[in-house]
Structure 1
Amino acid sequence: MESLSRLIAVQQRIAPEVGELVERRYAVLRCIQFAQPIGRRGVALKTGYGERKVRADIASLREQGLVTVDTGGIMLTREGEKTLADLGEYVRELRGLARLEEELRQKLSAGQVVVVSGDSDQDPSVKKDMGKAAARLMREIVRDDDVISVGGGTTMAEVANALTRPWNKRNVTFVPARGSLGDDVEKQADTIAALMAKNVNAAYRLLNVPDDLRAETLSRIALEPRIKEILEVIHGARIVVHGIGTIDEMARRRRLPPDEVALLRDKGAVAEMFGYYFDARGAIVHVTPSMGLRPEDLEGKEIMAVAGGTKKALAIVAVMANRPREILVTDEGAARAILAMR
């Protein structure tokens, strides 16, 4: 690693354009991997590079046997897949992500921070990289007989997609951290818990309860024997993996009326997790009825937060200020925005 850092430092002094070219072609290869088959114009739109540059890059990559181009679109070859994987560590060093991780870890008082290249606000495929990073870390921290409680959201859905066999953990159970929220089934915690379990041939338990019911309704449902039993399993989880919501995002998912959104803003809310809203300093300023885990239930658990995008920087800071996480998986966009804050 040290020799790679020295090599990149020398390269940037004598030929900085080489680093720029490698980064661009890495971005092109990633785009093709996630969207293949895809046309040149699609690659240009998704990466933000001009069509002329993309056309030249694809021609070069084709000559090197890294992509194929036909009427159906552009696809990676097996050698292209291997090259993309090999480039990952080089690009991390080139963009200084290891330094970024350590600076962010110190600023947020986190146990471990993993930063993936890119900004998911600009490139949605970056969420897939966050998902892969989180899934890799889950393999490291999960033990036999663990109960893992997982949240919902688009980024958590990518974690579920990336968590696949082989899986050498025994008697592991996945459960949702909260009830179902919104109409998009794929983003709901129940669905994500079930998908993770099925992907690794593990057990799972579901709540099957909407999370946006009235408080008195949720209280009655919580007394039902089956629900009560599952809630006990959820609260007994050793590991919690969750996303982080912004106010705008959660207002849409919870279908909050405008007056309630205005109230949240007046209170200074900038982030949401498990139905709790936090201000920029991490203080809880508002609570909505919710079934499942609460912030106070996280004591003694191993917690991984997975969230990225420049727009989520303040929300990440708020949730981490409430209780530092053992692990944060984020992207370069959020990391740089957080470090730029005073």
Structure 2
Amino acid sequence: MWQSLIDIQKSIVPDMLSHMLKRLNILSCIKNEQPIGRRTLARELGMTERVLRSEVDNLLELDLIKVESKGISISESGRQTLINVEPFLTLIENRDDLALQLKEKYSLKDIFVVRGDADHNSLVKEELVRLMAGELTANLLNGTIVSVAGGSTMALVSKFLKPKHDNLLFIPARGGLGEDVALQANSIVSRLAEATSGEHRMLYAPDSISKASLELLKEEPMVREIIDLNKRSSLVIHGIGDALQMASRRNVTPDVISKLENDNAVGEVFGFYFDADGNVVHKVDTIGLQLADLKNKDSIFAVAGGDGKKEAVKAYLKLAPENTILFIDEVIAEHLLG
């Protein structure tokens, strides 16, 4: 509801939002630098003193700041206003400035940055998924096959996906019966198909399986179909996970946990665990998409948010293919920029 209202405001009265953001920026600067003189504040904000004077007068009239001989400081009402509005800032403005800097550093297809920290604000995670779903929708053509990974982030995608084409097919990118049912790719592709009036296929295979059993399972017709569809899919959507958290969620053995710790694993995608240098240190034997398959896709939609995933994302970008479209939040973006 909030996002719909904000989108309407953006289309009808965009000046109102930009004006609000300007005032919030002024308040934030005052809070961080208080007490601060008008001239210094104008220089910090890149504004003329004349324009700033008008804004300061308005903020003073609203009782959001205090103007004293030692300088301008924020009032208790102003401080509380910043606290109250922070959760909604991510819905109002993305960090395009950070995205532009990241595009100069990383050779990816595209990068989007959402304001905030998903670990401390659930709206940030929803906005990441909403933004990704919008870009995904723009890439969905009649007959598109989409490989879908499991996870809590992917589980939100169906809430925001609004396709404009028919005959869409969603398939699980890999086996995953060792995790929460709601987070399994099988469950997620089912919801995506329902939301888009499309089709889906299921893959009933354990997350980890012996090599001998794996080869036998590959001979099953339904399994062979999924393997073939994953090779033919043009789009892939997936999250980027913290290595030890993902291992714990999938109930791996203590021996594997020890191996991941000893090898300093920091991240995981598609059952591949990698260290800070992007070296794969452990691979789960399962059926489905392989890292080597990604470079052949039209687009890879990778999503991650929260301070806890910053090292995983940084490491993943050392092995991510150039056809990756990355969706991250502000805290990860700032970490990537050093």
Shorter-chain TM-score tier: 0.7 to 0.9
Q: Percent identity?
A: 32
Check whether the contact 1:212–1:254 (CA below 8 A) recurs between aligned residues. no
When Rg is computed on C-alpha atoms for both structures, the one with the higher figure is 2
Match of 2:326 in 1: 328
Check whether the contact 2:91–2:127 (CA below 8 A) recurs between aligned residues. no
CA-to-aligned-CA distance 1:260-280 (integer Å, 9 cap, x gap): 222122223211111111122
Match of 1:142 in 2: 140
Distance 1:18 1:182, change over 3 A: same
Match of 1:16 in 2: 27
Matching residue's letter, 1:270: V
Task: Give the superposition deviation at 1:154.
Answer: 0.5
Check whether the contact 2:207–2:284 (CA below 8 A) recurs between aligned residues. no
Match of 1:173 in 2: 169
Match of 1:100 in 2: 98
Q: 1:242 aligns with which of 238, 241, 251?
A: 238
Check whether the contact 2:177–2:204 (CA below 8 A) recurs between aligned residues. no
CA distance in 1, matches of 2:151, 2:272: 15
- Partner of 1:289, secondary structure, is coil
Match of 1:214 in 2: 210
CA distance in 2, matches of 1:142, 1:114: 19
CA distance in 1, matches of 2:248, 2:159: 24
CA distance in 1, matches of 2:249, 2:24: 45
Task: Work out the number of aligned pairs and report it.
Answer: 276
Distance 1:331 1:257, change over 3 A: same
Matched, 1:190 2:217: no
Match of 1:81 in 2: none
Matching residue's letter, 2:212: E
CA distance in 1, matches of 2:117, 2:319: 24
CA distance in 1, matches of 2:28, 2:225: 60
Check whether the contact 1:11–1:18 (CA below 8 A) recurs between aligned residues. no
Check whether the contact 2:242–2:266 (CA below 8 A) recurs between aligned residues. yes
CA-to-aligned-CA distance 1:84-127 (integer Å, 9 cap, x gap): 79x944x43xxxx1111112233332221111122111123321
CA distance in 2, matches of 1:143, 1:100: 30
- Partner of 2:174, secondary structure, is coil
Structure 2 unaligned blocks of 5 or more: 1-9, 32-75
CA distance in 2, matches of 1:113, 1:270: 22
Matching residue's letter, 2:309: K
Check whether the contact 1:130–1:159 (CA below 8 A) recurs between aligned residues. no
- Partner of 1:322, secondary structure, is coil
- Partner of 2:337, secondary structure, is helix
Task: Give the superposition deviation at 1:179.
Answer: 0.9
Pairing of 1:125-140 with structure 2 (within 5 A): 125-140=123-138
Distance 1:213 1:161, change over 3 A: farther
> What value does the CA root-mean-square deviation take over the aligned residues?
3.2
Matching residue's letter, 2:243: I
Check whether the contact 1:108–1:317 (CA below 8 A) recurs between aligned residues. no
CA distance in 2, matches of 1:3, 1:294: 47
Q: Which stretch has the larger CA shift, 121-130 or 142-151?
A: 121-130
Q: 2:312 aligns with which of 286, 299, 315?
A: 315
Structure 1 unaligned blocks of 5 or more: 21-51, 62-83
CA distance in 1, matches of 2:158, 2:22: 40
CA-to-aligned-CA distance 1:190-235 (integer Å, 9 cap, x gap): 1111111110101111112222222322221111112112211122
Matched, 1:160 2:171: no
Check whether the contact 1:271–1:279 (CA below 8 A) recurs between aligned residues. yes
Which stretches of structure 1, 4 residues or more, deviate above 6 A after TM superposition? 1-10
Match of 2:69 in 1: none
Under a length normalisation based on structure 1, what TM-score does the superposition of the two structures give? 0.72
Q: 1:224 aligns with which of 211, 216, 220?
A: 220
Pairing of 1:35-50 with structure 2 (within 5 A): none
Q: Which stretch has the larger CA shift, 150-159 or 226-235?
A: 226-235
CA distance in 1, matches of 2:150, 2:275: 21
Under a length normalisation based on structure 2, what TM-score does the superposition of the two structures give? 0.73
